[in-house]
Each structure stands twice: as C-alpha cells, then as structure tokens.
Structure 1
C-alpha cells in the first residue's frame, strides 16, 4: 500500500541494559518496602505490548534536554517528568530501553532505582500520596539503538549517515527517553536539543528559538497539545529548512535532506492545500503547528505521523502526505486506548487518501473498494479482521489499512454521503486531544444516524474471512 505506515525492513538492535550504580545500592536497601497496593504496575495491560506504559500515575509534561554527537553517536539526556499519582506509591516504573542511567531524583530528592528489562524501577525516598503531583528527573547517556518490533522492523532512535531518524511507533520512545510509553498517557512536551553546528534537530510543535555557540547549535521546541510518547521525535540531520504560516495561522516547518529535496519539494508545497481540504472534511486542524521531516534513511522502510510534523524516510508521494496528515486528526489528536484498535488510526488515514483521490481526479472510493473486494478469499487482505489483528506483528498489515478503510466505505454506503462526513467530524471533535475505542466509534455512528450499524461494522471489523458485499443507501 503506497501510504502504509511501514514495510518490513532490516531488524534493529536492542540496547544493552545498564546496571544499578553501586552508589545507590544503599538507597535500595534502606528504602521503605512497598506495601500491597502501593506499587505502580509495570504495564497498562495492553494485549499486544503488556509492558508498555505504567500504572499508578499520569505524566502531564516532559521536559527533555538532549545533546547528540553525530560522529560518535553518543547521547546525553536529562528528562524531567511532571506527574500526578493516581494511587499511593512507594514504587513506580518508567519505560527505558538501553542507555545508562546516571541519576534519579523525585521532587529533588535522590531516589533508588534499578533496571528490569525495559523497566526503570524507581523507589522514592518518601512515599507518594494518591493525587500528589511530583517531579521525576532522570539523567542518562549512551549510544541509543532501536528496538526490533514484532514485524521485524526497527523502531526508535535510528542512526543515519548525518544524524538520526527518530520514529517511535509502537515501542521506540523508550530508546531515547524514559517515558510512560503507551498511548493512554498523553502529555505536553518541551525539547532542548543540542547538536553539532551545521546539523538541525527537529522535534514536535513550535520552534521557540535557536542558539549557536562553541561549535554546537541548540534548538528549543514546545508541543503544547497532549501527545503520546510514540509520536515524539528529535530527528537530526543536515536539513534544508523552510518555514511559513498558512492562511489559517498554522505555523509550518519543513526540514528536508538536500538529497531528497528535488523529489520532496513539489509534494510538500501541497501541504497547505491538503491541510485545508482535510480541515473541511474532518473539522479544524487540531494543532498550532504542522510540517514535514524528509530524511534519507534507507534502512527504515516507513513514514510515521509524528505529531504536527510527520517524518518520512525518503521523499513522500502525495498519497503518503495525505495519509500522514490525516493521522493528525486520527491517531494523534484522537488516540488509541489499546494497540488492538489501531485500525482507528490506519483505516481512517487510508480512507482519507481514497477520499482525496476521489475529489482530485483519481478513482472514486467505490472503484478502489471494488478493486480490493475483487481479491480472492485466500488473499492476505482477508487474513484477519482489522479490529482484532491477533498480535503486535500484525498491527501494520494490509487488513488493518485496506480492510479498515473498506469498513469505513461500507459505513458510508449504509448511512449515505450526507451523513458520513458528519460522523468523521463528530468523532474527531468529541474525542479531540483524548482517546477512543472501536466500541465508542460504533456507538457514535448509531447515536448520530439512528441506524443499527453494529452488525455491519462488526462484520467488517471483527469477522474472519471475506465479508459479504455491503449494500446501503449511499451511491459514492
């Protein structure tokens, strides 16, 4: 699929876990033992990534200060997390893969910590009360390496010949900063990124300023709207930069590898028109910033909808630009509650590209649907249902993208062309900056149309095999 989130590529490498420094061993020994019910869970219980995220608290803000040497590939990091305890806590976890932790404090007081796989287990000197706001500071360094996803592709901090391609779906955020690494936990972000002079460091949101001194340049970025950790980026390269503001007041920042500029720039010039078109269908753009990061990362094999500024491993085509931009509504603003529901991201973004083609001289959505539906029952398209892929290895497969989009087209046929856009706008508006589930979407469709749509949608989203061809009132 041209707009697919990823294709299989060379496996990444999992970083070596750091050990607990001897200087903090005494703290571990003297810390108050965790009482029953006061230990934050090591994961949120996601069926496909059970250790992703953590229990017992919610992060409201990340302040990340990073220094990266593009020659040695060494990263120095300081992460300050502002959080609120959702239960009494004598111990809690953060997700961090690889890298060496050099210190942890909780509310400016040194805390004990240890490593357990991808978990950074923290024991504060003083227990936290339910509802208490607290601040965790973690200092760390090392050579970040990507994790390998269940489908064999690299994910996280991926070194390039001039910097790093940083894309974190679904697990990779923890390769470069300690995080509550699940879409359920969204926060605002500040980034202070220092790189060698001549390199550009691009993160999410609005660029606040730059400063060059002593052979390095520091970039400060601010992402105000809530963001899941996997959507954060700090991509670094020798980029050609273009900045402007759209007629709607959206601040655009494009960073393009000069080797990709010739192919990328004709496509990127269409971003304002794509934003305007999608805003007309899906509702107001959910962020104050937009743009694109076009890198040359031949070993990656995918693009990602990093919030406000998608990152592309090479020059994108228009279909991919439309797809990743649509994710700003569906996936970024409206986020998942579990990875099992990823069709709500990929099916919607894929259908957005169908709609765009339909209205810009391409095939109609019905023609695209018919071409896909003609595939035999044994085709990979029908291998598993989009809302129940069955494993993390399948969440970026053809059924999630294409059959997920087909489910939306079947819905459009059932409710008609007048009602269908209202459903998309209502979904984006009612769950803006929040979360949604497949059950929530089905309920919204039935509430707004007054139709019994559960059977149709559950067949297309959950039933095994090739569904019967849908009928309905719409004539797209």
Structure 2
C-alpha cells in the first residue's frame, strides 16, 4: 500500500477511516458458547483463527448493477484441521449469513465479535479435510471505503482489503500467514466487465448477465484479493518472456491512459534484473475512478486511483515511481508475505527501496539524497510510529494507521544502512536469494536477519537489533556526519 498525497493538500486522505463494524448474522441456535479467536498477531490480535489451514477459497459474487444494494455471495473454503475442532471460527463481518454447510451437512452458526462461529454436527478430528460453504451477502454500502473491503467506484466496485478488511467482503481466515489458492466467480449485468486475481477460466453468458471466472496459479493472502466490476475495458499486451499482461481501465479513458500502461513491460524487465523473474502468472493495473488516498498491491492486479495518471500536478517520474512501488510488492509482500503484521517493514521498506532506486536510475534523483532526508526525520518517525520492525498499533478506529513513515522510508533507510554495511554485491545477492527462497510463502524479520547474516558471512544480529528495534536511529555506516532530528519535547499541561 502506498498512501498518495493530494496536490495542494496538507495531509493524505484515506478511504479506510474505520468505524465500528456492525455484524449482521442470522444465527441458528448454537449448542455451546462462542467466542472470537485470533492467531495472536501483536497488531491485530483478533485476526485469523487457529486450528485449521485453508487450502483454497471459491468465491462467487452476484453484482446487482447498483452500488447501494448488497451482492449475493457463496464462499466455499477447503481446509485441513491442525487440531481437534468442535467449532470453526471464520473472520466475517458486514454481511448477512443465510446458511452454512460443513461437508455438505447443514451446520449451526452464530456471531462473536467479528467472527462467524460454526458448529458442525460432529466434532472434527485433527488432520481431517473439511469443506465449509457459507451463503451470505456482501455489502458495499456502509463499507464504502471507510472500513475497507469493497470500494465504490464511479461505475462499479473494486476491493481494498489491506490490512484487515477481507472479512468485510467474504468469510475467511483473514491473516497473511494463511495463504491459499483462489477461484473467483463474478456475475454482473450486461454492460459490465468483471476482472479478478489470476487468469481467466471461462465466461458464461445467459439471460442478460455474464459470469466471469478467474483462478490464481499461486497461493494468495486474503488481504490481496481483488475484484473489479465496472464499465471497463481490459487491455492486453505481453511482458518479458511472454508474460500475459492485462490492465483494467474505464472504457472512455482507454486511449488517454495508454502512455502509462505501455510502461509496465519495461518496469517488469527492470525489476527482474534486480531480483529475478516475476513471480506470478500475470500482471496489470486496475485504474479505478475512486478517491481512496492510496494505491494497493493486490496480487497480479494492482489497484490505482485513475487520477494519479491524469492529475497534471504529479511529475512523470513520480507517477512511474508509484507504479514501480506497487509492482515491486508482487515480489515483496505478495509472493513473500509477512508472517505477522509487525513484519510489514519487509513489504513497504522494499517497495520504497525499489521505487527510489528506479527514480535514481531513470530520473536522476539520487538515492543518497532521499536517504539522508529520511535519516534526518528518522528519530521523529520512530517516536511517532515505533521502530520499523516494532510499529505501534493502529489508532482506535483507524486500522490502516500502521502505514506510517517508519515502515516506508524509515524501513528503506534500514536497507540502505545494510547495503552500506555489507556492500552492494552481497546486498544484491541477498535480495535475489530472499525472494527465491521464500516464493509463494511467508517470512519473518528473523528470517531476513538470518539470511542476511549467512549471505554476508558474519553475524548481523546486533546491527539489525539497533536498526529495527531501537527508539533512536543508529549511526549510518559510511556517513558519520548524518544527523537525525530529535522529536520535539512534549509540553506539560498548564
């Protein structure tokens, strides 16, 4: 995710200002008390659920042709239990549940916080395959970007599920540590086009409506799911080594946006030179007519505000750097996903790094200049948002407030210090090895520290402890003259 400043505005606006989520679940009688669970994530303790591992999601949405009505939906989850389960907890809010089946047999269900708690007729032993089908609605109305999930565009819908909003759209194990394969089916009236993550797997036209089916070829975290429904045109082209590219744009803006769209193949080739082959089956840009305040690396189909490409106040080099930021996330954050949300710096720090490196090489904007400015602000960022690998929790009612400067330029500064410390050749080998070693998986900060130590041939534990967790910014290797401004002293009450 990249927060986008508005020209002339003093601060970024976001469309994910949270409010309390009202869960509407039509509950069947449950035989025993239900409680919300979680995998214990430090920043989002109630996200995710223990006791099972999801293998695949099959999502089916029917769009009614209006953004002020709920979509009807069916979510089918194939999973394997990792512990004996009397109940199955799924993250789900902001929808009406109309029925649940476990392995084809009706099951009782109720709500607990933002969990849908399902009680199958028989307890599930550990190691058993289980198939859960939930018939529900998926409501874009009161979500409308405030809580994430569905984003209402001028002509339809898109998704923005980071960091904890996929469960506002469909029942799921809503934590990046549990990645799964996805099949997504979208039915929409004539005149609309639907596109989702992955590759097309067929269309079915009947009775004035079309159903599009898409499948991923690589596992995906729930926060990276994407569905676009709109009066759109899908633009196809080829990328490096024949990679199929597809962009989704408002039909009326197709020609106007082409100068930007055609830059993607070269940007992919540039990234492949840095870190290795693109990790997925396709890529493209979804240009939405919506005011979100951010761009988002949804897997294989990055979400952008159309205005980023049409607002004349944005310099061309800046727009391209945003494109590279989201593209680089396909390696850092999507293919290699964070094991916990405290590992977010690995996503955003790397995306910011390659964004800045691209600007240095393509637009003559020196990395050192940007990093020196980041160093100057680093102590203040750490005071406000916490150190890069120990970010402070989200503000009440503002769940995306974990996306602070300390995990963007503050984390890129850590990578710059690392390159200064171990040298460019070792750093570049580390980057390529990291994405190859953890492709299609999850990884943690400690994994990165261990690999960096191995690749450099020396223990970097102390180096990373200071740069990732200290409240004060350590001295920059090779730049002893760099200074970080101390945060302003807090005034006592008068």
Fold shared, TM-score > 0.5 on shorter chain: yes
Q: CA deviation at 1:174?
A: 0.7
* Equivalent residue in structure 1 for 2:294, among 302, 309, 314: 302
Instruction: Report the counterpart of residue 483 of structure 2 in structure 1.
Output: none
CA contact (8 A) 1:383 1:465 kept: no
Q: Does 1:401 align with 2:408?
A: yes
Does residue 16 of the first structure (1) align with residue 32 of the second (2)?
no
| CA distance in 2 between partners of 1:155 and 1:18 (Å) | 17
For residues 362-418 of structure 1, give each alpha carbon's deviation from its aligned partner in whole angstroms, at most 9, with x where no partner exists.
223222212332448546787531111111344200111001001001111111111
**What is the match of residue 425 of structure 1?**
432
Contact 2:24/2:93 (8 A) holds in 1: no
Q: CA deviation at 1:308?
A: 0.8
Residue by residue over 1:337-386, the C-alpha shift from the partner in whole angstroms, topping out at 9 and shown as x without a partner, is 11111000000000011111222232232222123324485467875311
SS at match of 1:329: coil
| Cα pair distance change 1:142/1:372, threshold 3 Å | closer
Structure 1 equivalent of residue 92 of structure 2:
96
How far apart are residue 199 of structure 1 and its match?
1.4
SS in structure 1 opposite 2:61? Answer: strand
* Distance apart, 1:5 and its partner CA: 7.2
Change (3 A) 1:439 1:379: closer
Alignment of structure 1 residues 19-418 onto 2, 5 Å = 19-21=25-27, 24-25=28-29, 28-29=30-31, 42-71=37-66, 72-141=68-137, 143-145=139-141, 154-258=147-251, 261=254, 264-298=257-291, 300-314=292-306, 315-316=308-309, 317-375=319-377, 377-378=379-380, 384-393=386-395, 394-418=401-425
Separation in structure 2 between the aligned mates of residue 277 and residue 4 of structure 1, nearest angstrom: 23
Contact 1:104 1:112 in 2 (8 A): yes
Q: How many residues align?
A: 457
**8 Å CA contact 1:78, 1:140 repeated in 2:** yes
Residue 279 of structure 1 aligns to a residue whose secondary structure is helix
- Matched residues in 2 for 1:92 and 1:301: separation? 36
Please list every run of at least 4 consecutive aligned residues from structure 1 whose deviation after the TM superposition is greater than 6 angstroms: 379-382
Range that drifts further, 214-223 or 4-13: 4-13
d(CA) in 2 for partners of 1:44 and 1:3?
26
Alpha-carbon distance in 2 for matches of 1:470, 1:322:
27
After superposition, the C-alpha distances for 1:43-93 in whole angstroms (9 at most, x for unaligned) are 111111111111100110001111011324320000110000001111110
Distance 1:164 1:456, change over 3 A: same
Judged with a 3 Å threshold, the aligned counterparts in structure 2 of structure 1 residues 18 and 438 are, in CA distance, closer, same or farther, namely: same
SS of the residue 1:224 aligns to? coil
Cα 1:127–1:379 change in 2 (3 A) is closer
* Aligned-pair CA distance for 1:160: 2.4
Q: How far is 1:3 from its partner?
A: 4.5
After alignment, is 154-163 or 272-281 more displaced?
154-163
Q: Determine the structure 1 residue equivalent to 2:469.
A: 462
Q: CA deviation at 1:246?
A: 2.2
How far apart in 1 are the matches of 2:380 and 2:339?
31
* Distance in 1 of aligned mates of 2:281 and 2:60: 23
C-alpha separation in 1, matches of 2:385 and 2:122: 52
Change (3 A) 1:313 1:219: same
Q: How far off its partner does 1:119 sit?
A: 0.3
- 3-state secondary structure, aligned to 1:230: helix
RMSD between aligned residues: 2.5
Q: Name the CA distance, whole Å, in 1 between partners of 2:168 and 2:454.
A: 42
SS at match of 1:418: helix
Gaps of 5+ in 2: 6-11, 310-318, 396-400, 480-494
Deviation at 1:455, TM superposition (A): 2.4
Give the secondary structure class of the aligned counterpart of 2:44.
coil
Distance 2:419 2:284 in 1: 30
Distance in 2 (CA, whole Å) between partners of 1:376 and 1:389 is 13
Q: Once the 2 structures are TM-superposed, how far is the Cα of residue 208 of structure 1 from its aligned partner? A: 1.8
- Are 2:176 and 2:340, in contact at CA under 8 Å, matched by a contact in 1? yes
Gaps of 5+ in 1: none
Q: Structure 1 pair 19/211, CA: closer, same or farther in 2 (3 Å)?
A: closer
What is the CA-CA distance between 1:143 and the residue it aligns to?
2.5
Q: Distance in 1 between matches of 2:19 and 2:252?
A: 27
| Rounded Cα–Cα distance in structure 1 between residues aligned with 2:452 and 2:43 | 27
